[in-house]
Amino acid sequence: MVPTPGVEKKIREGVMKGEYALPFYADFPSMSNVEQDATWKLMLGEEATTKIIIKTFNEAGFDTRKDMLQSYKFIEGQSLPQWREAGYGGGLLVDWNLKTTLDGLYAAGTQMFAPEDHSYAAATGRYAGRKAAAYVKEIGESKVSRDQIEIEKNRVFAPARRNSGIEWKELHAGIARVMQYYVSEFRTELLFKMGMDALEKVETESVPMLYALDPHKLMRTLEDLSMLEYAKIIIQASQARKASSIPLGFQRIDYPEVDPPDWNKYLTIKLENDKVKIGERPPRFWGDMKQQYEAYNKDYEGVYKGK
């Protein structure tokens, strides 16, 4: 039954105040057995186009005697999916050489927490390239790890070795759906955890079935594998920030206080020995711009100082 607009408004307000916890469920176990059976077995189970839904749920283990059916009302969100964001910002953490925390890996452009414009991308690209070249000169030749290359080759080519299963567009839609349900308009600890579990299920069950029929589709498949990682990072970062924030476009139902001074800081997130490690940096942790630039670019006589 569809609630009237008035009732729906009240429910929505209750959700935002934390009076009701999302997601909602169809609470079959609270109904009498005869009501459960009339709804599930008779009404849905014998109706032409819902028969297959009931059959599939039953075969997967759903049982009206003990299980509650999840509702997607509200968690699907009201805004257009393409305009929904998990929160603004985020990117690779870099030092004044634009080196990431992985030694030897440099970053430029919008992969950092950065303005999204061409001049910034061009300037940081040039800078990072110069610093990376200096790094290479300094460390000289290093040993190539054949093992690491083999592991990476296996990862990259695995989808190309299959010719049926799940292709990239389905994976893409699957990840997007998880993010829309659990990390979009409504943010709570419970929804984050459900989102994380759903992504892990995608990773263990669907990723090993990925296939790519040609190099283009392999490229898209690999992009989506990265997207799966980003999705996990977004959820873990969201879990770590236990406050709401206007500049970050980040509103939590369970932590409604907006920009409390304690949370005026950056959170860093890093994978260390397969464990997620959360750290923090103070605001403006990069220091004084002019001073720091001079300190890190003493030897540079290019565009900056002129000839």
Partner 1 sequence: MAKEEVFAIPNVPTPNQPVLFNPEFCTGCNVCVEVCPIDVYIPHPEEGKPPIILHPEECWYCGTCAVDCPCPGAIKFNWPLQARGYWKNKDTGEIGQI
Smallest gap, in angstroms, from Cβ of residue 73 to partner 1?
A: 13
Restricted to residues 212-231, the positions that interact with partner 1 (CB under 8 A) are: 213-217
Kindly indicate which of the ranges 36-44, 173-181, 252-260, 293-301 contains the residues binding partner 1, using the contact rule CB under 8 A. 173-181
Which of 7, 42, 43, 53 is in the footprint of partner 1 by CB under 8 A?
Answer: 53
Contact indicator for 235, 199 with CB cutoff of 8 Å: yes
Query: Would you say 106 or 211 has its CB closer to partner 1?
Result: 211
25 is a site residue for partner 1 (CB under 8 A): yes
174 is a site residue for partner 1 (CB under 8 A): yes
Contact indicator for 74, 24 with CB cutoff of 8 Å: yes
Kindly indicate which of the ranges 141-149, 164-172, 228-236, 272-280 contains the residues binding partner 1, using the contact rule CB under 8 A. 164-172
For 140-165, letters b (16+ CB in 10 Å) and e give: eeeeeeeeeeeeeeeeeebbbeeeee
DSSP 111-145: GBS----HHHHHHHHHHHHHHHHHHHHHH------
**Separation between Cα atoms, residue 9 and residue 15, nearest integer Å:** 10
Kindly indicate which of the ranges 98-106, 129-137, 146-154, 163-171 contains the residues binding partner 1, using the contact rule CB under 8 A. 163-171
Contact indicator for 98, 108 with CB cutoff of 8 Å: yes
Tokens representing 155?
A: 């990862």
Kindly indicate which of the ranges 1-9, 94-102, 159-167, 233-241 contains the residues binding partner 1, using the contact rule CB under 8 A. 159-167
**Separation between Cα atoms, residue 53 and residue 298, nearest integer Å:** 68
Query: Would you say 102 or 213 has its CB closer to partner 1?
Result: 213
Kindly indicate which of the ranges 135-143, 199-207, 256-264, 291-299 contains the residues binding partner 1, using the contact rule CB under 8 A. 199-207
**Separation between Cα atoms, residue 29 and residue 285, nearest integer Å:** 53
Restricted to residues 64-103, the positions that interact with partner 1 (CB under 8 A) are: 66-70
107 is a site residue for partner 1 (CB under 8 A): no
Residues found in the chain: 307
Look at the block and give the residue holding tokens 């109706």.
47
> What single-letter DSSP state applies at residue 30?
G
Smallest gap, in angstroms, from Cβ of residue 135 to partner 1?
A: 38
Which of 177, 236, 240, 242 is in the footprint of partner 1 by CB under 8 A?
Answer: 177
3-state secondary structure (DSSP) of residue 267: strand
Binding residues vs partner 1 (CB under 8 A) = 25, 27, 29, 48-49, 51-53, 55-57, 60-62, 66-70, 164, 166-167, 169-171, 173-174, 176-177, 194, 197-198, 201-202, 206, 213-217
